[in-house]
Amino acid sequence: MMIINIVITTRRTWPHFEELLNAIPDHRKRSTYEVGEILMAGLTMFMFKRKSRNNADKTVRGNFETNYITLWGMRLPIMETVDNFLKELPPEDLEKLKHELVRSLIRRKTMEKWRFNSRYVVSVDGTGLMSFDHEPYPGCPFKTSKNDKKTWTAYALEAKLCCGNGFSISLGSIWLDSSENIGDDKQDCELKAFKRLAIKLKKTYPRLPIIIVADSLYPNQTCLNICENNGWDYIFTFKDGCLKSIQDEVSRLRLLNEHLTSATLFY
């Protein structure tokens, strides 16, 4: 039943979903499967919680493939075919697909009821996806422990549109990449990546009314200026020692408010 609901929801929300998949450029010299069939096979591995590529191939037994073709109207390639295609596919092509799907949701006003002060809530946060004891690619950020052991982490900064029902939808991603600093000790960081992510968000969704929410790393003059210049509202976690001048002003306003409240009660 869950699989059928996924199919129904996909077709209702994006009636031309298969066409969008097949619109992605095909870089192969020879092809047995259409681009849409390969991408759908990769997507359904996660939709159907098939755990891994190897397990996905093993679970294709009985009537699974027949039912898959009936539901999606597509053939089902093995995961090695999917992996080989994705290895050569520029990430930008998949991002274009993601942006078109998100724009469709916005045009349909699917998430209107979860606006805050008439704006879409967009959380910004970094996350480490995988760690390595070797450098997996040039410029991968690393940390050095007290015993001089290096650990490399594939790290991404994500902007996600938050919904009141617990869903979050990716609007844009930026990889932390220190390749421009190879040869020195400088590392890319979340705040540097936010500058690049903000450019991507504004270019992709130029008129989208959003409010940025982020942790206590972000309340600084650079981030505030980026949000204000882009016409974005913002809510940042505030902690002691951060933006001391503002903190002093808030303390004075609190004292003033307490004084006025006491004077009013006395009067």
The tens digit of pLDDT for each residue in 82-98 reads 999 999 999 899 999 99
Query: Domains of the chain by range and CATH?
Result: 2-89 (no CATH), 115-236 (3.30.420)
Q: Tokens representing 206?
A: 């130029």
Are 18 and 36 contacting, i.e. CB atoms less than 8 angstroms apart? yes
pLDDT tens, residue by residue, 123-163: 999 988 899 999 888 888 888 888 889 899 999 999 999 99
The whole-number average pLDDT for the span 192-208 is: 95
Q: Tokens representing 162?
A: 């938050």
Are 190 and 157 contacting, i.e. CB atoms less than 8 angstroms apart? yes
In degrees, rounded to 5, the angle at the alpha carbon of residue 197 between the alpha carbons of residues 191 and 198 is 95
Burial class (CB in 10 A: 0-12, 13-18, 19+), 263: exposed
